[in-house]
Structure formats: C-alpha cells, structure tokens
Amino acid sequence: MDQDIPELVDEEHNDACANGASGSDDDDDFYEVDMGMEAVQCLFCEEQLPCVEKGLEHLKQGHSVDFQILKSKFHMDQYAFIKLINCIRCEEVPAKKVLAADIPFWNDEKYLKAREYEAWLSYDYDEMPRAAAIDNDGATKNDLLSTIKSLQEKVKEQELLLEQAREDMTKMRVSFQRLLDNEPTPTTNERNRKLKAPNSVASLSLEADSSYFSSYAHFGIHHEMLSDVVRTTSYRDALILNKEYVHGKDVLDVGCGTSILSIFASQAGAKSVVGIDNSDIIYSAMDIVKRNNINNVTLVKGRLEDTNLPQEKFDIIISEWMGYFLLFEGMLDSVIYARDTHLKPDGILLPNRCTMSIVGYGSESLYKDQVTYWDNVYGLNMSNMRKEVLHEPLIDVVDAGHILTEANIVADLNLLKVDLNYSNFTYSFDLKCIKSGELSAFVGYFDTFFDLPVPVMFSTSPNSKPTHWKQVVFFLEKTQKIAVGDTVKGIIVCRRSRNSARSLDITIESFGNKCTYYLD
C-alpha cells in the first residue's frame, strides 16, 4: 500500500510504549477493584490469608500451584479462573489433581455459579501476567521466546505453502475447464488475472458471501445512501463538473446499486457505461435505466471477479465502495480487482484517493450512555458488560463541540497503487490537545478525493455535514484528564479480521492500556 503518512511500528516498540506509558491511578479504574485486606481461605488447606495476593503466593509456595503458570498452560481468562475456584470448592479438588491436569477439567458452565461469595471470585485474573515459562524443565523466558519464534517461522512457511497450493489448485481448475471447453492456452497475464488472492473477498465462495449481497437487495439501504446529499452530490459533481474529461470515455461502475452513478456518467457524456452488481437490486436498476431512456448504460448481474463483462477495458472506473471507517465491508478488494483487470493503462479511478483519521473526543453524556450505563441498569449491577461492550465501536454522528485534540491522518490511500494489504497498517499518533477536559474516546472518520480538472472532495469528519457513514467511536476503558497543550500519544493497529474478509480488527494502545475493537 502506498502510504507516506503511517510509519510501521514493530511489536517491540508496541511493548515499549505499553510498558513506558502511565495511566491514572483513579479509584474508579475500569478493570481493577480495590480488594483491601479481605481475607481468604486457602483452596487446599485451612490456612487463612489476609488477602488474595497473599493467598496466591501461599498456593505457589505451599502447594506448588502457580496461577500464572495455569494461565499460560490453559490460556485461562477471568471466567476460567472463576470456574476453577468454584470447582475446587464444590468438588474439594486436591492440589495434586490440579498439578497433574493436562486438560482444564473445571471447564463446565455449572462452575460459574459460586457456592457462596468469597474474595477469590472478585480477583481480576485477566490482569495477572502470564508466566514466562510453563514447561516442567523450568525453561527460561528466552527459551520460550526462541521456541515461539521458531514456531512462528514454521507457521509462516506452512502458510506460504498453503497459499501456493491454493494457487496451484486454481490453475488446475482453470486449465481443466479450458480442456472441457476446448479453449486455447491463455497467456501468463490472462492466467494471473483469473487468480484470486486467498485473503481477499474474492476468495469467499458465493454462498458464503451471499448475505453481504443480500443486504443490498433491501430498498431501505439504497434510500439511505441516495438521501445522503453529501455522498450523492459529490459523485454527481465529480462527473458533471468534469464533462470535458468524461466525454467520449468508457466507464465501469463497480457495485452500481440503483445505477445512479452510471446515469450520472451517461449525463456527463460518457461513450458507454457498464454497471455491475451482484445484489438483486440490479433488476430494479435495469428498470430505472429503461424508464429514463438511458441508452448507453448496460447493467450486468454478478460478482465482478466471476463475471465476463461486455467489454474488457475502461477509461474510468467509478465506485462508491467506502464503508464505516472507510475499510469496513472490504469492497475496495473488488475495486482493486477492477483496476488491475479492466482499467486502461492511462485510465483513472473515481475517487482516486482516501485518507483515514482519528481525533481525541470527550463527551461525558455519551460515555455515560454507552459505558457507565452498565453500572446501574434498573438498579442492577451489570458492570461486567462494560468490558465486552468496549470491543464494539459505536457508529454514530458525534457532536464536534466535544472534540479535544487535533486530528492525525493514520492512513493515506492512493487507489491507483494500493494492494490487497491495504487494511493492514500501524500508525503511532500524537494528538495535540486543543481543549482541556476528560478524554473518553477516539473518533475515526475518512475523507474522499476526486482529483480531476475540477476537483471534488467530501469528508465524514465530525466538523463536516453528517453522512450515512457517520463516525466510528472507540471508547476508552476509563476517561483521562487532559489539558491544553498536552499530547496524547498512542498506537493504532488495523488488521483485516481473520474471521471475516469484510471485517476489521482495530487495536488502540494509549495511556498504558490496549483495547481491540471489532468492526463487523
């Protein structure tokens, strides 16, 4: 990806930032609960300890049960810790059975229910670091890291072999089909064009991806997009205000929907326009084109990567592919495929450039409505929900009056140059504070550019007219006090989700805390 703005940050740098940054010591720490000196009884004997920390040390020294090692060995989280405590209490499990365990025998939902309250169950086990080594020979941390590195190299090697195998299988399928069709042997470029990158949306089967296209068959979503004046008029202006540039050109509209952009291109003087969409909305679009007597627009139903178009090459490729925080939905994959397969050597993409930005934000009411709300829900304490809710970013139009910092551009995408790795980037941000207040979130948005003789752009910033994309709000685990002139430092890491080619995993590290948000 052509990015002049973001700088890559390796994992060692991330760790240094995490260890070096300091957060607030407020009593209302999001994760930590002040245990005070609440006494606990040993899990395996009658001895009373003054607090959980002393209890854990006693278990380690007196019974050789180290909960750090258990956390690493069984990949335990807070719920697993609670289950183990309750299992030991309910079943009177001896220490030797825990030490001899090869599988977590306590991993049963019934152990989430405690026999009675005790301080062990309030301990924040998630905050306990994993053991440096967990093998019986007492391997050092360096030995473990070396082993991990070796395994990672082997995994990477196997992934490369798997990718090569996928490509070989694709080639075999294409060759076999040609034998059946008695087609001539293709050139190398033609063969490569048929291959689909394994990490792109094109690698998904049509059945697996059907829900995505089905969502665009509903008329409501098209009403929302067409009613977005900023979005629709920006595309119209880019074409109509540049009629001399569009006149006589062949145009491809990727993901044409109701065909509004195809019609704008026709009105701007395009020689011919081809629109393609795999959603059933294409049938309504065909009727729209016919009703408006648009004679040079041809509409095709199908997924671009699997469909033969009426013509091979185009002067202009236009597409409204942007999702929340720009990259959600992964439709840029299809635009890249269109660019590499169907764009003439001197052709252009519209839009041709997009940037992604974040800004510091502080709204007490929004934070209360979305985060601290869980502390008292109709008189019930549901604060355990906070941690889960944080991972789901809020999509909403935010009040620009609560912006507390300057913005940073975290990614700058030249669409003529980006590759399918565009969604994987890391950026170290420095947000200069322009207001004093309580920082409660980072807000993400994007800007879109049509660099034409008459340039056009639009922004989804909180400072601009609202669009249907709104903004993406990444709430902090706890609010942070800032003052004018301060600099909020951190790291944002964006990755394509392993679970869905159309989703994003976004990790933000700041104020000594790290949180991963799932945009899916």
CATH code, domain with 461: 2.70.160.11
Q: Is residue 269 part of a domain?
A: yes
Domain stop point among 95, 123, 151:
123
Whether the pLDDT of residue 70 is over 70: the answer is: yes
- Residue 148: its pLDDT value, please? 72
Closest CA to 305 of 281, 282, 276: 276
Q: What is the pLDDT of residue 222?
A: 76
Return the percentage of the chain with pLDDT > 70, whole number: 77
What is the per-residue pLDDT for 284? 92
Could you tell me which residues come within 8 angstroms of residue 288 by beta carbon, excluding any fewer than 6 positions away? 258, 259, 263
List the CATH number of the domain containing 248. 3.40.50.150
298-343 residue pLDDT tens: 999 998 988 999 999 999 999 999 998 998 877 899 999 999 999 9
Among residues 279, 303, 320, which one ends one of the domains? 320
How many structural domains is the chain composed of?
4
* Residue 245 three-state SS: helix
Q: Report yes or no on 116 lying in a domain.
A: yes
326: in domain: no
pLDDT (0 to 100) of residue 8: 40
Q: CA-CA distance, 151 to 481, in Å (whole number)?
A: 42
Taking each helix axis as running N to C, give the angle between helix 78-91 and helix 67-74, from 0 to 180 degrees, rounded to the nearest 10: 120
The reply to whether 406 and 494 lie within a common domain is yes
Q: Please, which pLDDT band fits residue 210 given cuts at 50, 70 and 90?
A: low
The one catalytic residue among 91, 157, 159, 320: 320
Does the pLDDT value for residue 53 go beyond 60?
A: yes
Q: Which of 75, 94, 123 is the last residue of a domain?
A: 123
Catalytic-role residue among 305, 329, 477, 509: 329
Per-residue pLDDT tens over the stretch 175-199: 555 555 454 444 434 434 444 555 5
- 431 shares a domain with 510: yes
* 378 has a pLDDT exceeding 90: yes
Mean pLDDT of the region 155-169: 66
Q: How far is CA 433 from CA 426, 483, 484, 509, in A?
A: 22, 7, 5, 17
pLDDT at 177: 53
> In this predicted structure, what is the pLDDT of residue 121?
86
Question: pLDDT band at 110, cuts 50/70/90?
Answer: confident
Are 485 and 428 found together in one domain? yes
pTM over 0.75: no
What pLDDT band is residue 451 in, cutting at 50, 70 and 90? very high
Q: CA 412, CA 249: separation in Å to the nearest integer?
A: 28
Helix axis angle for 229-240 and 260-267, nearest 10°, is: 30
In whole numbers, what is the pLDDT of the chain averaged over residues? Answer: 83
Rounded CA separation 289/263 (Å): 8
Burial class of residue 168 (count of CB atoms within 10 Å of its CB; 0-12, 13-18, 19+) = exposed
**pLDDT at residue 135 above 90?**
no
Is 137 domain-assigned? no
CA–chain centroid gap for 503, Å, is: 5
One domain for residues 97 and 49: yes
514 in a structural domain: yes
pLDDT in tens, 469-516: 999 999 999 999 999 999 999 999 999 888 777 889 999 999 999 999
For residues 44, 45, 51 and 57, what is the CA-based torsion angle, rounded to 10 degrees?
Answer: -60
Tokens at 243, concatenated: 């009629």
Q: Are residues 378 and 450 part of one domain?
A: yes
Domain encompassing residue 238: 218-320
Helix extents (H) in 23-140: 52-63, 67-74, 78-91, 95-100
Mean pLDDT confidence for 9-33:
41
Q: Is 11 a catalytic residue?
A: no
Q: What is the structure's pLDDT at 328?
A: 84
Q: Residue 79's closest CA among 25, 134, 126?
A: 126
Residue 15 CA, distance from chain mean position: 21
pLDDT at 35 over 80: no
Which among 170, 175, 173 has a CA at the least distance from the CA of 185? 175
pLDDT one-digit tens code per residue, 82-93: 989 999 999 999
> Catalytic residue at 329?
yes
* Calpha distance 76→514 (Å, rounded): 19
* 285-301 mean pLDDT: 94
Which single residue is written with the structure tokens 């000594």?
Answer: 512
| C-beta separation of 334 from 201 below 8 A | yes
On whether both 147 and 284 belong to a single domain, the answer is: no
392: pLDDT strictly greater than 80? yes
What pLDDT does residue 501 have? 77
What pLDDT shows up at residue 13?
42
Kindly state whether residues 257 and 305 are assigned to the same domain: yes
Mean of pLDDT values over 274-279: 93
Strands (E), 266-361: 272-277, 297-301, 314-319, 343-350, 353-361
Q: Is pLDDT at 207 greater than 80 in this prediction?
A: no
Quick one: pLDDT at residue 157?
A: 66
Please indicate, yes or no, whether residues 491 and 371 belong to a single structural domain of this protein. yes
The pLDDT value given to residue 205: 59
Q: Do residues 316 and 425 both lie within one domain? A: no
Q: Are residues 119 and 146 in the same domain?
A: no
Q: How confident is the model at residue 144 (pLDDT cuts 50, 70, 90)?
A: low
pLDDT computed for residue 219 by the predictor: 62
Triad 95, 80, 370: Cα angle to 5°: 150
What secondary structure letter does DSSP report for 68?
A: H
Q: Is 421 part of any domain?
A: yes
Same domain membership, residue 382 and residue 249: no
C-beta separation of 236 from 212 below 8 A: no
Residue 21 lies in a domain: no
pLDDT for 329 equals 78
User: Residue 245 above 70 pLDDT?
Assistant: yes
Label residue 168 by pLDDT band (50, 70, 90): low
Instruction: Please indicate, yes or no, whether residues 113 and 187 belong to a single structural domain of this protein.
Output: no
Find, among 476, 499, 510, the residue nearest to 28 by Cα: 476
Give 258 or 21, the one with higher predicted confidence: 258
In a domain, 17, yes or no: no
